[in-house]
Chain A
Amino acid sequence: MEQDIERYLNNEMTQEEVAAFLNKIDTDPEAKKLLSLYKEMNVVYDQNDWELLDKKTTNQKVQQYEQFLRSDKGKEIANSIKAAEQSYFNEKPFRLTKILKYVAVAAIFIAGLFLVVEYNQGTNTEQLYATYKNWDELPSLTLRDQNSDLTEIEQQFRTENYEESLLLLNTYVLNNDQNVNPQLLMYKGISQLELHKNTAAIDTFTELLESKTLDADKAHWYLALSYLKNQDVEKAKTELELLLEKPTNFKNKEAKELLSSLH
């Protein structure tokens, strides 16, 4: 039988032989099974081919897999996969941002070497703002499986959809009238800054500064960046100097560095 199968699969049979062979296959289940295996081997072992199962199959395993994927648990894990994917791809551009930051710092340094006269202050402060902002180090708003509104705000923020994040944030604050949340203020102020609402951002960071929270002093750094963006170098310097008072202050090292580029 195996020889016949081989000849059949290799198209080596005459028409009459093919007819007789197919007749035998129809009446002999063992022969049918054998032919099926030989066909399977030809496809499965071919590295340029793939054996596709009949889509309408009632095979138990296929049904079992499908049922699981359609179950609540399956759907839930599918969502976790999507969340992980999103988080993975959102992080990737940040690596580029970091590289750009070094390039920008180097560029500013080189420019500083050659430019003796004071050059366009406007461009300079904008550049410094861009160099020193690093929003991906902002702490996360949520712990795993917590409030989904906050997750959504953070997600929009991390994907740089600042209009959305600001809108959601304002709605959230309206609906959850609690004590001041310093982290939310940071997200809010930064979203405003990125949307070029500099004055509003300064108000937000001032509110952070006046809040009696542990993060209140961080406001000096954000205010300094806001003033830089607003091309108000003197006010930026004042905020930075406040950060220099103690080496343990937030962004103390960066403040020193930034201040020296402003002198």
Chain B
Amino acid sequence: MANQKQDDYLLQSLIDGDDKGIKEIYKKVYPKVRKYILSHDGSEDDAKDIMQKSLLQLLARAQATDFKITSSFDGYFVTIAKNLWRRAAKMAKSRVTNEGVLDLVHEEREIALAAYEQEKWELFQEKLSEISQNCREVLTFFFNKVPYVDIAKKLGYATENTVRQRIFKCKSKLKEAIYSDKRYNELKEL
């Protein structure tokens, strides 16, 4: 089967709830999801849980008629799984900081929230890829907390101040790109 054809088959199997096709998804992506989770402080059970949640999230989003996967199916799926694992880490952290406050939410709601967050994350990544390469580099360092002095060294800027100015300009461009996309406003709709 050609790659695109197989990818379409996998997504359609999920939409149709076809056990056989969903099992094919497991065969294709579970080993990758497992490898990632196990190498990031997770257990086999965590991997199974993330796999199931990723499938449900994708299922919910794929109900929209305009839903499309622009990369390969397994690449896309593994990204969802990685983000869900990051999400789980963030939640564990906020549970520790909000000691004793247990915010129990139904599984369906939790998956719906994660699906929305993923959608927004994808939109932001797409917008980042639209600005100039230089801006993208500077901002990627900045957002990942690389100190100004190191960014200056890595990208050959004379002073920290130049870096600061550059970040300011690039952020403004990125902001424009996000603002002008109507999907951003749609996501914000209550």
Chain A residues near B (Cβ < 8 Å): 2-3, 6, 34, 37-38, 40-42, 44-53, 55, 57-66, 68-70, 73-74, 76-85, 87-89, 144
Contacts and interface: CB of A to CB of B under 8 A. Distances in A.
B189 interface: yes
B56 A69 contact: yes
Interface stretch (B72-80, B88-96, B151-159): B88-96
- The secondary structure that dominates the B interface is helix
B117 interface: yes
Given A34-B175, A68-B63, A81-B52, A6 B112 contact: no
A55 B30 contact: no
B117 A50 contact: yes
A47 B175 contact: no
A59 to B, nearest CB: 6
Given A47-B144, A52-B90, A87 B113 contact: no
B18 interface: yes
- The secondary structure that dominates the A interface is helix
A60 B112 contact: no
Given A55-B105, A76-B17, A38 B175 contact: yes
A49 to B, nearest CB: 7
A83 B13 CA distance: 13
Given A2-B172, A52-B90, A87-B19, A61 B119 contact: yes
Given A45-B140, A65-B112, A80-B19, A85 B26 contact: yes
Interface in B130-185: 139-140, 143-145, 168, 171-172, 174-175, 178-179
Contacts of A83: 19
Nearest to A46: B143
28 contacts: A2-B168, A3-B168, A6-B168, A38-B171, A40-B124, A42-B143, A44-B120, A44-B124, A50-B83, A50-B86, A51-B120, A52-B91, A55-B103, A62-B116, A65-B60, A65-B115, A66-B111, A69-B108, A69-B111, A74-B60, A74-B108, A78-B56, A79-B17, A81-B22, A84-B25, A85-B52, A87-B19, A88-B30
A123 B150 CA distance: 70
Q: Which 9 A-B pairs have the closest CB atoms?
A: A77-B17, A45-B143, A65-B112, A84-B22, A66-B112, A69-B108, A80-B17, A88-B26, A65-B60
Contact of B171 (A41, A47, A144): A41
Contact of A41 (B60, B115, B174): B174
A52 B117 contact: yes
Interface of B: 14, 17-20, 22-23, 25-27, 30, 48, 51-52, 55-56, 59-61, 63, 83, 86-87, 89-91, 94, 103, 105, 108-109, 111-113, 115-117, 119-121, 124, 128, 139-140, 143-145, 168, 171-172, 174-175, 178-179, 186-187, 189-190
Contacts of B117: 50-53
A48 B82 CA distance: 11
A46 B143 CA distance: 5
A84 B25 CA distance: 9
Contact of A46 (B27, B48, B144, B174): B144
| Among A49, A52, A60, A65, residue most surrounded by chain B Cβ atoms (within 10 Å) | A65
A66 B61 CA distance: 10
A41 to B, nearest CB: 7
Nearest to B172: A2
